[in-house]
Amino acid sequence: MPIVAPITMATPLLLATEGFGIDLDILNDNLVNLAILIPILVWFLKGFLGGILSRRREAILQDLNEAESRFAEATAQFEKAQAELAAARETAQTILRDGQARADAIRAEGEQRTIAEMARLQEEAKADTDSEARRISNELRRSTAEQAIALALQDLPKALPPKKQAKLLAATINSLG
């Protein structure tokens, strides 16, 4: 047993002189560790995270500026398109009114031409009727005159002497002439 006694005496001395050990006093050790670790992390990560956040912030601001400029451009194009649409609608209305007026004018002109053509056809029909009536009247006169002459020529030799017959025949031929 003599060997055990010297080891037990040397153990507390050995523990005190050797490196790290486990300290179960959590409040004391952790607060010191955290008080040292947090400022180091803040100081170290400040530049690293600050740079990342700064670049991200600049990228977001640039994206926002681009979005605002695209929005302004889209708004301007939309307003321009609305103005063009309004102008197109006005032009369409004008074309529609002009087309309607032209259709009315063409319809009225067509009606006038139809009335004029009907009047012309009536005049031509009347002229044709008058012409045909004159032709028929002349034909009837001629036919009547020929029949009268034929009858007169039949009865004339019995009623008139030959000299008077020749004279009457010459006068009739001259009047028909």
Task: State residue 102's pLDDT score.
Answer: 93
Distance (Å, rounded) from C-alpha 131 to C-alpha 125? 10
- Give the distance, in angstroms, between the CA of residue 134 and the centroid of all CA atoms in the same chain: 65
pLDDT score recorded for residue 27: 59
CA distance 13 to 26: 24
Number of domains forming the structure of the chain: 1
Q: Which domain holds residue 112?
A: 32-176
Residue ranges in the chain modelled with pLDDT below 70: 1-29, 156-157, 177
Please report the pLDDT score of residue 159 as a whole number: 72
* 17 in any annotated domain: no
The reported pLDDT for the residue numbered 48 is 78
In a domain, 133, yes or no: yes
d(CA 159, CA 165): 9
Question: What is the pLDDT, as a whole number, of residue 150?
Answer: 82
Report the C-alpha gap between 75 and 68 in whole angstroms: 10
CA 162 to chain centre: 101
- Is position 11 within any domain? no
Residues 6+ positions from 157 with CB-CB distance below 8 Å: 165
Q: How many helices (H) and strands (E) does the chain have?
A: 3, 0
User: What is the model's pLDDT at position 66?
Assistant: 95
Q: How far apart are CA 43 and CA 30, in angstroms?
A: 19
In a domain, 80, yes or no: yes
Q: Give the residue carrying structure tokens 């889209």.
A: 74
Position 156 in a domain? yes
Q: Is residue 27 part of a domain?
A: no
Q: Is residue 70 situated within a structural domain? A: yes
Q: Is residue 5, in this structure, part of any structural domain at all?
A: no
> By C-alpha distance, which of 175, 174, 176, 154 is closest to 165?
154
pLDDT score of 23: 58
Rg (the chain; Cα; Å): 68
